[in-house]
Amino acid sequence: MTRKTIKVSNITCAQCAKSIETYFDTLDGIDAKVLVTSKKVIFNYDETQYDVDQIANHLRIIGYYPILNSEEQEKAKKRDLIDLILAGILTFPLLWTMFVHLGIKVYVPDFLMNGYVQWAIATPILFYVGRRFFQATYHQIKGRNLGMDTLVVLGTSAAYIFSIYQTLSYTSQAMHQMPDLYFETTAVIIFMVMIGNFFENRVKEKTSNALQSLISLSAKEARVIRDGQEMMLPVDDVKPGDIISVLANEKIGLDGIILKGKSYVDEAMITGEPMPAFKEVGDQVIGSTLNMIETLEIKVTAVGSDTVLANIIQMVEDTALIKPKAQRLADKVAALFVPVVVFISLTVFVLWAFVVNGGYGLSVAFAPAIAVLVISCPCALGLATPTSISVGSGIAFKEGILYKGGEFFEIANKISAIAFDKTGTLTKGHPELSDFLGDKKTLAYSASLEKHSNHPIAKAITDAYEDDYLEVTDFEVMLGKGVKGTINQKEVYVGSPNMLKDLNLVPSAFDYKLYLSQGKTVFFTVVDLEIVNMIAVEDPIKETAKGVITELKKRNITPYMITGDQEITAQYIASILGIEHVFAEVLPHEKAEKILEIQKTGKIVAFVGDGINDAPALKMADVGFAVGSGSDIAIDTSDVTLMSYDLGLVIKAIDLSLATLKNIYLNFFWAFAYNIVMIPLAAYGLLNPSLAGIGMGFSSIMVVLNALSLNLFKFKNIPVEE
């Protein structure tokens, strides 16, 4: 079976996922699994029966638009925009006539009040612009998964059919007086739902392209040594067992084992850890990481889909399939509301036709039955969720919070545990000088020597030094131990405790093990074989981290730490922050397993991370928060992106989502209140169309005004600790 991931432009919700998966279940030799938030479909198929073009055609048959290249991506965006503009242009004149229905004295040209004119305008909106809703409804009905699309089709079609009936049965010669038409309702529902979808798609587009583009992080070529000659080859042409040469400041093309050389390798994109790892002969290296210091010769052990990076991509996709797809509140409502309304309408039809006063006949029974469907038009229901989410998302964006979809708003209130990555999430993700013991004047020796190194710890030392640098000669890197050079004719070393052992020196004046127990990295400066100072470097905790943890505990949300860092460092950071549950030395694929382990205790789990190694956990979690300073893959797989280092945005995102959800519930209350009042009136034949129009307009206006009230929301300030 061949595996292929295809992006689909118009996947918007769990109902879309069900429609696609149900359709492909009916075909032999292929199955489909949908990643809703990333708008992608993973296909496993028999390549003797299908190719990518055939799969794409099947998607088009059921009304979904596959994106196979950037050109199609632009076409899909252009198509959506054209549909939206067309809907807006055609809806405006019909919306103008709604003022007459509402009893507002506004000039409306006579020809716009003509039923046949309105019919002509509404038809392309319903059947061309709204074609996606009919296609989706057809497959929802086949799959017995009624959703918001079904509700839209039901309401718009009922309003359209009833308006045609009114137009054809109208006998007055004054054709411009037709107040009992609902063509504008058909147009407005489609237009408003499309606006909601359009803005949601734009938000998702900003954050959902990174999984495919992750491949661009890897090296495209490798310097392969064959028959004693070096040649640049595409990585696809490199085979396991080949020897590749990687120069300083080059990406390591593929996974392998070092045969010759030693260097520091920056593995932050995979592990998330800020400190480069020292690598020497026999050590394993990961493709796409950065060789920093000296040339390495590496024997390739994995290529293509077998590399660590490729496995992480597949792991993220597979993890997303384990995570249940959140069904939107509107779809849950639609699943119940649609059959109930249809049942009421049919019941009204039967009662009027055969029971009430001996039966009025089919022609009389038709009007109240259709009236029930018309009154049930989901104008307010269609507006309820997108208006609140649009306003909430706008408020969030100003605070530096980017929501990828509406599902988060509906699950945030259930979060009972939040797991944090350590490096770059709870901590700043880059080392800083935390302690200096010894004569401060000797820092000049340390900083002047480290100025010639590109190690992150060197930058931490030089950042803490503000005076003039001394001249250095004979600079040399002692890989894995430190650096040395000559300053003012004195031999100067800056390095780790291992360097002191080589120099046969004992740091008896410094209790460096205390600092090691705090998870700090310790360095010593030696001048002419005399230890003159000790420098401790750490990855500092973010200022808002402790305040966030304290606030979570107040809300009975249990904090966890899941990190690949060593146990001693993780426990020290956790003790400062007050985190009792710690998983340390966890490999990237194990992070998702830890999330699943917490979920099995019955908790709804959020995860906050920033690195490629966090991607599987972000996808496995019920809610994933990506720190915006992190990797593209982390941002792609998350539900919420925090666009600054401020960890307090986690609390703000949750609080705003709760306020937005309450707003959505209140919107549904207004929408249902209207239906509860109007449906019985329609069923009894007592409905005044003008009153219905006023009620429908009032219901929609209340929904919009209620959504705008979210602008009054005030965020809770999280205390900052220096």
pLDDT of residue 212: 45
Task: Give, rounded to a whole angstrom, the gap between the first and last alpha carbons of the chain.
Answer: 55
Inter-residue contact 260 to 281 (CB < 8 Å): yes
Which range marks the domain in which residue 594 is found? 403-428+542-658
pLDDT of residue 370: 67
Q: Which of 5-19, 167-181, 444-458 is predicted with the least confidence, judged by mean pLDDT?
A: 167-181
Which of 147-156, 364-373, 448-457 is modeled with the greatest confidence? 448-457
pLDDT band at 33 (very low <50, low <70, confident <90, very high): confident
Domain count, the chain: 4
Domain contains 21: yes
pLDDT of 566-605, one tens digit each? 888 888 889 999 999 999 888 777 888 899 999 999 999 9
Give the three-state DSSP class for 91: helix
Inter-residue contact 255 to 286 (CB < 8 Å): yes
Q: Give the C-alpha separation, 390 to 396, whole Å.
A: 10
pLDDT of residue 327: 47
Count CB-CB contacts under 10 A for residue 79: 13
pLDDT of residue 562: 92
Q: Give the C-alpha separation, 546 to 720, whole Å.
A: 8
The whole-number average pLDDT for the span 622-641 is: 71
Please tell me which residue, 408 or 418, carries the higher pLDDT value.
Answer: 418
Count CB-CB contacts under 10 A for residue 330: 26
- Say whether both 414 and 546 belong to one domain: yes
pLDDT of residue 272: 58
pLDDT of 661-713, one tens digit each? 888 888 878 777 777 777 787 777 776 444 555 555 566 667 777 878 888 88
The whole-number average pLDDT for the span 490-497 is: 92
Is a pLDDT exceeding 70 seen at residue 326? Answer: no
Q: Give the C-alpha separation, 86 to 80, whole Å.
A: 10
Inter-residue contact 63 to 51 (CB < 8 Å): no
CB within 8 Å of 554: residues ≥ 6 apart:
none
Is a pLDDT exceeding 50 seen at residue 208? Answer: no
% residues pLDDT > 90 (the chain) = 16
Q: Give the C-alpha separation, 409 to 667, whole Å.
A: 14
Domain contains 666: no
- Say whether both 547 and 652 belong to one domain: yes
Which of 93-97, 338-342, 462-466 is modeled with the greatest confidence? 462-466
Please tell me which residue, 548 or 314, carries the higher pLDDT value.
Answer: 548
Domain contains 413: yes
Domain contains 27: yes
In DSSP terms, 5 is beta-bridged to 42
pLDDT band at 215 (very low <50, low <70, confident <90, very high): very low
Q: What is the CATH number of the domain that holds 418?
A: 3.40.50.1000
- Say whether both 436 and 410 belong to one domain: no
**Of 266, 421, 610, 614, which is the active-site residue?**
421
- Say whether both 490 and 617 belong to one domain: no
pLDDT of residue 448: 92
- Say whether both 424 and 548 belong to one domain: yes
Tell the burial category of 361 from Cβ atoms under 10 Å away from its Cβ (0-12, 13-18, 19+): exposed
pLDDT of residue 559: 94
pLDDT of residue 637: 66
Q: Give the C-alpha separation, 465 to 447, whole Å.
A: 7
Please tell me which residue, 446 or 17, carries the higher pLDDT value.
Answer: 446
Q: Give the C-alpha separation, 176 to 173, whole Å.
A: 9
Please tell me which residue, 391 or 54, carries the higher pLDDT value.
Answer: 54
- Say whether both 510 and 567 belong to one domain: no
Is a pLDDT exceeding 50 seen at residue 497? Answer: yes
Q: Are strands 605-609 and 581-583 parallel, antiparallel or unpaired?
A: unpaired
- Say whether both 560 and 650 belong to one domain: yes
- Say whether both 499 and 573 belong to one domain: no
In DSSP terms, 234 is beta-bridged to 221
In order of 267, 336, 385, 555, 592, the CA distances from 151 in angstroms are 50, 10, 14, 37, 37
Residue with tokens 């429609």: 19
Q: What kind and span of H or E run contains 16?
A: helix 14-25
Q: Give the C-alpha separation, 436 to 465, whole Å.
A: 11
3-class SS letters over 210-261? HHHHHHHHCCCEEEEEECCEEEEEEHHHCCCCCEEEECCCEECCCEEEEEEC
The whole-number average pLDDT for the span 359-387 is: 65
Asked whether the whole model's pTM tops 0.75, one would answer no
Is a pLDDT exceeding 50 seen at residue 328? Answer: yes
Is a pLDDT exceeding 90 seen at residue 526? Answer: yes
Is a pLDDT exceeding 70 seen at residue 145? Answer: no
Is a pLDDT exceeding 70 seen at residue 279? Answer: yes
Give the three-state DSSP class for 525: strand
Tell the burial category of 471 from Cβ atoms under 10 Å away from its Cβ (0-12, 13-18, 19+): exposed
The whole-number average pLDDT for the span 441-466 is: 88
CB within 8 Å of 679: residues ≥ 6 apart:
341, 344, 372, 375, 376
pLDDT band at 207 (very low <50, low <70, confident <90, very high): very low
pLDDT of residue 102: 57
Is a pLDDT exceeding 50 seen at residue 348? Answer: yes
The amino acid occupying position 620 is M
Domain contains 700: no
The whole-number average pLDDT for the span 174-197 is: 68
Torsion sign across C-alpha atoms 474, 475, 479, 481: positive
The whole-number average pLDDT for the span 263-287 is: 79
The answer for 429, left when phi > 0, alpha when psi is -120 to 50, beta otherwise, is left
Q: Which of 132-141, 313-322, 390-399, 457-466 is predicted with the least confidence, judged by mean pLDDT?
A: 313-322
In order of 293, 331, 653, 717, the CA distances from 230 in angstroms are 20, 60, 53, 59
φ/ψ of residue 247, rounded to 5: -80, 170
Q: Give the C-alpha separation, 49 to 38, whole Å.
A: 27
Count CB-CB contacts under 10 A for residue 657: 25
Of 306, 341, 356, the residue at which a domain comes to its end is 306
- Say whether both 529 and 628 belong to one domain: no
- Say whether both 498 and 461 belong to one domain: yes
Q: Are strands 605-609 and 623-627 parallel, antiparallel or unpaired?
A: parallel
Is 632 among the residues known to form the active site? no
Q: What is the CATH number of the domain that holds 449?
A: 3.40.1110.10
Is a pLDDT exceeding 80 seen at residue 415? Answer: yes
pLDDT of residue 690: 45
Torsion sign across C-alpha atoms 7, 10, 12, 13: negative
Q: Give the C-alpha separation, 519 to 516, whole Å.
A: 5
Of 250, 272, 306, the residue at which a domain comes to its end is 306
In order of 40, 108, 152, 395, 413, the CA distances from 325 in angstroms are 13, 47, 22, 26, 17
Domain contains 184: no
Q: Kindly report the average pLDDT of the chain as a whole number.
A: 79
- Listed residue (642, 641, 608) closest to 622, CA to CA: 608
- Say whether both 492 and 421 belong to one domain: no
Is a pLDDT exceeding 60 seen at residue 216? Answer: no
The amino acid occupying position 616 is P
Tell the burial category of 414 from Cβ atoms under 10 Å away from its Cβ (0-12, 13-18, 19+): exposed
pLDDT of residue 414: 87
Of 538, 557, 591, the residue at which a domain comes to its end is 538
pLDDT of residue 366: 67
- Say whether both 524 and 557 belong to one domain: no
pLDDT of 428-439, one tens digit each? 878 889 899 988
pLDDT of residue 175: 46
Q: What is the CATH number of the domain that holds 24?
A: 3.30.70.100
CB within 8 Å of 586: residues ≥ 6 apart:
562, 563, 564, 594
Domain contains 611: yes
Q: What is the CATH number of the domain that holds 244?
A: 2.70.150.10
Domain contains 250: yes
- Listed residue (539, 593, 521, 568) closest to 426, CA to CA: 539
- Listed residue (338, 377, 330) closest to 697, CA to CA: 377
